[in-house]
């Protein structure tokens, strides 16, 4: 099976060519055109600029992903149709519909969160069921993955997503967008115990909350004096390290609780924040302590990529779940 995957859900235009032989996926290409440079000067994603850039990039990115492969030789094309920024999603969906119609190949619709939840399969073979923590810029949820296309959400954030909190705190520290990866590096140089930021454990639930932590960082910085001035490097390092310690403590503790409550001894993490080195380290230690299997995709498969969409699409295509020309983009789309 040869599948083309397309993801334009946020600010990266991505296309991937994936082959599946005897059930094992092999990523042939995974092209990602980042828009960071465009959005950096605004301190965050400007949706209108994002969709315009997708329009410019979708054809060259798909062409690069296909390489010398002829579109007619594809088994199907899988496109992410939500959740995400509506203008961005529409570019991918409209392109995929026209492409499939013109080349007479089947179209498959994939939920972006399904892509993140199945990304571990690109490099490993987790057995079912497994728990999956999806931590991205728009979502923070724990799912029970019973089988392909059989998912249960156990809990989710009640306010900010973890990645959103990372990006907002990064901005407060004067770091350029996207702040998450820069916070990760800075946190590595600071003292995680220097400031005791609050941890919202929300006991007896699988839910999360990160807005109080964000406010605590704001209050801490205001307490330091002139909030209009950027903080010094030393302060920024310790704030980043202490913030990261609070976020990762909560994420790890929740997963630990989910393992205890469900008795499931396989855990995967996915989404942009799963690329965080501090989170991986703490999750690995926890998995070792409980002797459970842990699946953490390589950073390129944690952050948005079309290979994960191609894989999820291949599974749906195998089950004959194809989409028609009435497929529409959906900004809000639960898994
Ligand atoms: O999954 P993703 O690429 O896009 C969404 O679906 O949202 O996740 C993007 C989020 C951003 O908030 C970004 O700052 C965060 O993931 N992120 C990180 C790291 N790499 C990306 N956060 C913390 N540490 C990282 N290394
Ligand atoms: Zn994502």
DSSP annotation string for 244-311: HHHHHHHHHHHHHHHHHHH---EEEEESGGGG-HHHHHHHHHHHHHHT-EEE---HHHHSS-HHHHHH
Is 90 exceeded by the pLDDT of residue 232? no
CB 270 within 8 A of CB 297: yes
- Ligand 1 atom closest to the Cα of residue 302 is 1
CB 310 within 8 A of CB 4: yes
pLDDT per residue over 9-68, tens digit each?
999 999 999 999 998 999 999 999 999 999 999 999 999 999 999 999 999 999 999 999
91-96's contacts with Cβ under 8 Å and 24+ in sequence apart are: 91/8, 91/51, 91/54, 91/55, 91/58, 92/6, 92/7, 92/8, 92/9, 92/54, 92/58, 92/329, 93/327, 93/328, 93/329, 95/6, 95/8, 95/58, 95/59, 95/62, 96/6
Overall average pLDDT of the 269-285 stretch: 98
Domain with CATH 3.30.420.40 in the chain: 2-118+303-318, 126-296
The ligand with the least distance to the CA atom of 115 is: 2
Quick check: pTM over 0.75?
Answer: yes
With a pLDDT cut of 90, the percent of the chain lying above it is: 95
How many angstroms does the Cα of residue 19 sit away from the middle of ligand 1?
27
CATH architecture of the domain covering 2-118+303-318: 2-Layer Sandwich (3.30)
What is the CB neighbour count within 10 angstroms for residue 63? 12
Question: Residue 225's pLDDT is what?
Answer: 78
CATH architecture of the domain covering 126-296: 2-Layer Sandwich (3.30)
**Token couple for 287:** 């998995």
Q: How confident is the model at residue 233 (pLDDT cuts 50, 70, 90)?
A: confident
pLDDT per residue over 174-228, tens digit each?
999 989 999 999 999 999 999 999 999 999 999 999 999 999 999 999 888 766 6
**Token couple for 82:** 């939500």
CA angle 7, 9, 14 (to 5 degrees): 30
How many angstroms does the Cα of residue 209 sit away from the middle of ligand 1?
17
How many angstroms does the Cα of residue 11 sit away from the middle of ligand 2?
10
How many angstroms does the Cα of residue 330 sit away from the middle of ligand 2?
15
Residue the block writes with tokens 């605590």 = 216
Question: What distance in Å separates the CA atoms of residue 156 and residue 33, rounded to the nearest whole number?
Answer: 29
The average confidence (pLDDT) of the chain is 96
Overall average pLDDT of the 274-281 stretch: 98
Residues at CB less than 6 angstroms from ligand 1: 10, 136-138, 163, 166-167, 178-181, 183-184, 271-273, 275-276, 303-304
């Amino acid at each position: 099976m040869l599948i083309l995957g397309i993801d334009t859900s946020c600010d990266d235009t991505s296309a991937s060519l994936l082959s599946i032989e005897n059930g094992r996926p092999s990523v042939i290409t995974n092209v990602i055109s980042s828009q960071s440079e465009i959005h950096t000067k605004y301190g965050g994603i400007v949706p209108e600029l994002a969709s315009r850039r997708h329009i410019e990039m979708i054809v060259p990115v798909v062409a690069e992903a296909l390489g010398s492969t002829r579109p007619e030789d594809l088994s199907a094309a899988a496109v992410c149709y939500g959740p995400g920024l509506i203008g961005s999603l529409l570019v991918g969906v409209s392109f995929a519909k026209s492409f499939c119609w013109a080349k007479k190949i089947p179209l498959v619709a994939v939920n972006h969160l399904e892509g993140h939840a199945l990304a571990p399969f690109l490099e490993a073979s987790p057995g079912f069921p497994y728990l999956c923590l999806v931590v991205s810029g728009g979502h923070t949820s724990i799912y029970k993955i019973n089988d392909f296309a059989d998912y249960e959400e156990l809990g989710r954030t009640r306010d900010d997503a973890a990645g959103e909190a990372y990006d907002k705190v990064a901005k407060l520290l004067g770091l350029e967008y996207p702040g998450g990866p820069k916070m990760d590096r800075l946190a590595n140089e600071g003292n995680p115990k220097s400031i005791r930021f609050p941890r919202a454990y929300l006991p007896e639930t699988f839910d999360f909350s990160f807005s109080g932590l964000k406010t605590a960082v704001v209050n801490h910085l205001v307490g330091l004096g002139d909030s209009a001035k950027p903080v010094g490097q030393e302060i920024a390092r310790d704030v980043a390290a202490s913030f990261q310690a609070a976020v990762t403590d909560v994420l790890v503790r929740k997963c630990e609780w989910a393992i205890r409550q469900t008795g499931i001894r396989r855990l995967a993490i996915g989404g942009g924040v799963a690329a965080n080195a501090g989170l991986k380290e703490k999750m690995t230690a926890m998995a070792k302590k409980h002797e459970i299997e842990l699946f953490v995709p390589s950073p390129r498969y944690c952050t948005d990529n079309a290979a994960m969409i191609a894989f999820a699409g291949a599974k749906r295509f195998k089950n004959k779940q194809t989409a028609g020309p009435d497929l529409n983009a959906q900004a809000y789309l639960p898994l």
